[in-house]
Amino acid sequence: MFMLIQLVVIVLAFVSHEHEAMAAYVPPYTSVVVPVNKHTDAAKPLYSVQIMTAYVNMQFLHADFLIDIDAPFIWHDCIVQWNMYPGSCPSNTLCTGPVSCEEYQCTDVRASYGYKNPPCAPETNTSTLPGWGFCTCPVNVVNPVTGSCSQALLNYDDFTVNTSDGRNVFNGLYGAYPNAACAPSSTFASFPANVSGVMAFSTSPYAFPAYLYQPLKKTFALCLPSKPAPGVLFYGTGPYYLFPQSNVDVRSYLSYTPLVKHPDSFGYFISVNSIVIKKRSINVPTDASTRLSTIDPYTTLRTNIYNGVVRRFSMVTKRLRPAKPVAPFGLCYSTSTTGLKVPDIDFSLPDGKKWTVSTTNSIKQVTSEVACLAFVDGGATSEPAIVIGTFQFEDNFLEFDLENSTLGFSSSLLLRKQTSCANFNFTLTNSP
């Protein structure tokens, strides 16, 4: 009996030691990382991430997905196939497993979004796959380029990304297994070349962040490039490093403001108290909401706010030679002689914080001789009242902390000794 007790004590001590060792384990990575590419060959500038999809012939296939921080779930060019076996998937096609209309994910995903504009056709449970015997799960998707509505089939998917310590990209891999949706290839005709999906980074329980677990923290950081060279997206806590300040954690540049929940949206909203141009404030109504968008190319303002901004900006730039406005902009300047340097535009935020929009993010060079204020009139009743678009994001470092519901923002990195979003080192290194 005594020997049995001793054995139990030894076993318990061993188990306790193993648990302590597991708890003490610190992985060599703090985040996963993917390159961000800018596309200018669609109806508007768009940005994509490149992610590994299927493992074929001893290597991973890669696909490019539009970054959408509003989308409720991931959808891309693939098919669902229930009886997968070697050779069953057509060549040059990505095959995934179907979700049945009888499974809880089908009802849950359909209930998690409600597209009212544009109106989408109601989903039905009438479709099936040959020989399967179950109904598939069609879900509605909205094309972020055209705004049109289509249907896709909910699936069981898997994606793979590289790990990182914020300075290096490791050859160690991290897998995520979301419910996404398969749409026909024709759905992506309006997308930029070689982009074949939408990667959802919203707060939805079916967006990509919801499928990334410990040890990764529920934080993602986005740095959109202004040029063809890739920017970077991290998921997980920092540090984050960019050349040439390769020993400076970019988080040291950030100010923080609360993210605001908005009914019927999985997107990200902040509070803007006013817009300040050269010490003069343009009032923003207290009930006005401000959304962040990776699809809208320029900041859009409700007409009453827009008029105030244009009026004040015209006043402080009256030394500049005006030019005929070029759609969609309402205030343009001649740049036939010299480049423009204009006053900063500050979004005044709670707790005295301000997000500064400097010349590189406020003035868009439209032609070799014309540059315009990159803010757009959204109309008298536009909702939300302010949408901050991607031109204002370029070469700004944004950190979305989903656990603490805060947004970190750097303002222009170009003012930091020529750091930019294209300055991350994507050279692959061995995991420690």
Segment 54-81, tens digit of pLDDT? 887 788 989 999 999 999 999 999 999 9
Task: Please tell me the predicted confidence (pLDDT) of residue 200.
Answer: 97
Mean pLDDT of 9-17: 45
| Residue among 165, 203, 236 nearest 430 (CA) | 165
Task: Please tell me the predicted confidence (pLDDT) of residue 431.
Answer: 82
Task: Please tell me the predicted confidence (pLDDT) of residue 7.
Answer: 45
Asked if the model's pLDDT at residue 4 lies above 80, the reply is no
> What is the C-alpha to C-alpha distance for residues 238 and 365, in angstroms, rounded to an integer?
34
Task: Please tell me the predicted confidence (pLDDT) of residue 93.
Answer: 85
Task: Please tell me the predicted confidence (pLDDT) of residue 152.
Answer: 96
How do 290-292 and 386-388 pair as beta strands? Answer: parallel
Asked if the model's pLDDT at residue 329 lies above 50, the reply is yes
Q: To which residue do tokens 């707060």 refer? A: 203
Percent of the chain beyond pLDDT 70?
A: 92
Q: To which residue do tokens 């008298």 refer? A: 380
Task: Please tell me the predicted confidence (pLDDT) of residue 2.
Answer: 46
How do 354-357 and 345-348 pair as beta strands? Answer: antiparallel
Mean pLDDT of 361-366: 96
Q: What is the pLDDT of residues 352-361, one digit of tens each?
A: 999 999 999 9
| Residue among 269, 185, 242 nearest 36 (CA) | 242
Mean pLDDT over the full length of the chain = 91
**Who contacts 5 (Cβ-Cβ below 8 Å, separation ≥6)?**
none
DSSP 122: P
Asked if the model's pLDDT at residue 13 lies above 60, the reply is no
**Who contacts 52 (Cβ-Cβ below 8 Å, separation ≥6)?**
60, 61, 62, 159, 160, 161, 173
User: Can you list the alpha helix ranges (DSSP code H) found in 179-224?
Assistant: none
Mean pLDDT of 107-134: 83
Task: Please tell me the predicted confidence (pLDDT) of residue 100.
Answer: 96
